[in-house]
Each structure stands twice: as C-alpha cells, then as structure tokens.
Amino acid sequence: MADETITGIAAHGASRLPSVEIDSFNVELKDEEGFLGDRANKGAFREILEKWRKPLRKSGEDPFGNESSEKISKKELDAVLTDDDPKAAAIVHSAIEEFSQELAHVTRRFLKTKAWEKTERIVIGGGFSDSRLGEVAISRTEIIIKAEGFKIEMLPILHDPDDAGLIGALHLAPSWIFDGYDSILAVDIGGTNIRCGVVETCAKKSPDLSKASVWKSELWRHADDEPSREDAVKRLVKMLKDLLAKADKEGFKLAPFIGIACPGVIERDGSIEKGAQNLPGNWESSKFNLPESLIEAIPRIGEHDTAIVMHNDGVVQGLSQVPFMKDVKRWGVLTIGTGLGNARFTNRNGKG
C-alpha cells in the first residue's frame, strides 16, 4: 500500500491513516489580497479589535485605555462579554462579528473546493477556540454559513488545543502498536513553541481512544531563544529523554512510537517540502530530516526499535477528534493560530 511502510506503519505525511483518509491538508487559498488564511488567524482578530477601538481612543473613551490590542488576554476579553461596561462589550462584540464574517468567507472558500465538498462538520482548533470569545465567534460563523444554504455544523475542538496537538498523535499509529503498552511520546512543533508530552491511551476504558489524555508535558518557547536548527533538535531530544525517564519512573509502559505534529507539507521520507518558515533555522533543507535525527538520538524505547510518524500539525490536531466523529462521514478542521491550519478527513468506518 502506497501510504504504508514495510512494517505496516503509515508513512510520514500519509493520506491514509488507520481511522481516516486525509482528503487535503495545508491548502493555501489565495485571493487578490494574499493568503486567505491571513484573514481569519489570531493576528487578524487583534487587528479587527484595534480597528474598533480607534474611534473611541481618539475621543478618550476607549474602555481598554492604553493597553495594546495584542496584549489584552483572552481572559480579559471573555470577562468583558459578561461585565457591566456596555461600551467595552460592544467593542468586543463588533470585533467578533467582523471576524466571524471573515472566518465565514474563508470557510465558504474551503467548502467550494473539490476536496472539501460534502463536508458535514468543521472543528475549530488552535488557541482562539479555547475561550468564550472563540466559542461565540465559531457559533456566529456557523449561523452565517447556514444562512447561505450550507448544511454544516461548526464547533470548537473538544480537547484543550495544546493537548489536542499531542493526543492526535495516537491516531498516526495502527492500533496493534498499543498492544501491551499504555502510552506514547508525542511532539507538537509550532512557530512559537515546541511541546512534548506523554499521552496515555486509556485504551482499557475506551478502545476507541476517546478517553486518551496528556499525563505530563513540557513546553519550550523557542521563539524567545532564537536557537539554531541543531540546537532546537538537541533541546527537543533532551525534553523527550526527560519525559521517557519520568514515565519509566512512574511505571508507564511506553510504546516504541513517537508521533510528531509539524507545520508544513510533510513528505513520505520525513522531509518538509514547504510551510516550515516559522521554525528555527531551515527545516525545509533536503539535508535535514527530523524523524531520522530523533531515531539516531533515541534508537530504542524499552526493548524495541523506535518508530516515528510525522504529519502536518493541523492534521494531528484534527485527529484528536476522531473518536467523536463517528456520526458523520466527512469532516474538517481549521486551526486558528499564527496561520490558519486546515485538513479534511473522510472516516474509514474503523476498517484498516
């Protein structure tokens, strides 16, 4: 099978995984203003918020005072939605409405592509979804899209978005890999952070992995340190070895498998074709292969050779939803972060 290696483990960036077919991912739609995703990412919301504050700031009536729109936390914005200050609430509602219109525009464009036709449900991931603000924007977007005749459901990703990027890694591996094991190492690489974690399968409670959870994770904000690519890989290896030791001490039975979520278009051999420009150093070089570097550093987990599967970060975050998508056939994920990640899936009805 084209998307499987000799050992029956999916190739890096595979379009066929144990539970789903990946119909498309990391699609970069454009219009006359540039990349469409830039109209509905985290930065776009902050720009819209700033736009609605400007007129009030000129007359000295901005309820947020001198605080930069970039710096206002999601918690503060969430609180404003239920506070007694109608002006502050009106600003946030105005920003939500405009952002929802932009997200609806982007969603509409995806739904009109061949790969996304007949999509029944879209899950919104990324940090934006993890707030009341995000929930309202997602619901408003769904209403706009439905009013235009699309039969679609839109909802926030179920897990905390930080956990989703690790939990989804379980679905990169065939179920037999978990026989006799209760956990895996997972890595989520982003433009700002690298997160590693030990993910418990909880397969005894739920064989479909719906109860899977992150036992322990480590976060490194590489954007603060501006490391070289080699230093970034060394730090990643150290994080994984630390987690290995902690899991071992705690009595976990780690499967000899590491699942990796990474931005960009991932090739079968584990190289990155494009889309990794926000990572430290040049990750798109033909001379660089992250899975190979990690296998060299961690050749064995327990008594077995380490197997690694790497896929696009939007795909992996979406995969965390697999157990909760059994009632639909075709579904997608949009992740609102530095960019707009995207992937469309078709369920394989548990076969494979």
Q: How do residues 182-236 score in pLDDT, each as one tens digit?
A: 999 999 998 889 999 999 999 999 999 999 999 999 999 998 888 999 999 999 9
Q: Is the pLDDT of residue 326 over 90?
A: yes
Q: Is the pLDDT of residue 162 over 70?
A: yes
Q: Is the pLDDT of residue 5 over 50?
A: no
Q: Exposed, middle or buried, 237 (CB in 10 Å: 0-12/13-18/19+)?
A: middle
Q: Exposed, middle or buried, 317 (CB in 10 Å: 0-12/13-18/19+)?
A: buried
| pLDDT of res. 8 | 62
Q: Which residue has the higher pLDDT, 46 or 337?
A: 46
| pLDDT of res. 3 | 60
Q: Is the pLDDT of residue 2 over 60?
A: no
Q: Rounded mean pLDDT of 59-88?
A: 92
Single out the residue of 208, 328, 275 nearest to residue 13, CA to CA: 275
Amino acid identity for residue 145 in this structure = I
**Local confidence band at 6 (pLDDT 50, 70, 90 cut-offs):** very low
Amino acid identity for residue 83 in this structure = D
Distances (CA, A) of 271 to 226, 265, 288: 22, 9, 7
Cβ neighbours of 207 (radius 10 Å): 13
Q: Note whether 135 and 129 are within 8 A (CB).
A: yes
Q: Is the pLDDT of residue 332 over 90?
A: yes
| pLDDT of res. 334 | 95
Q: Which residue has the higher pLDDT, 35 or 109?
A: 109
| pLDDT of res. 199 | 98
| pLDDT of res. 173 | 92
| pLDDT of res. 352 | 34
Q: Rounded mean pLDDT of 22-34?
A: 82
Q: pLDDT for 76-108, tens place per residue?
A: 999 999 888 999 999 999 999 999 999 999 999
Q: Exposed, middle or buried, 312 (CB in 10 Å: 0-12/13-18/19+)?
A: buried
Instruction: State whether CATH 3.30.420.40 applies to domain 160-320.
Output: yes
Q: Rounded mean pLDDT of 168-181?
A: 92
| pLDDT of res. 143 | 98
Domain spans of the chain?
Answer: 160-320
CA distance 23 to 46: 31
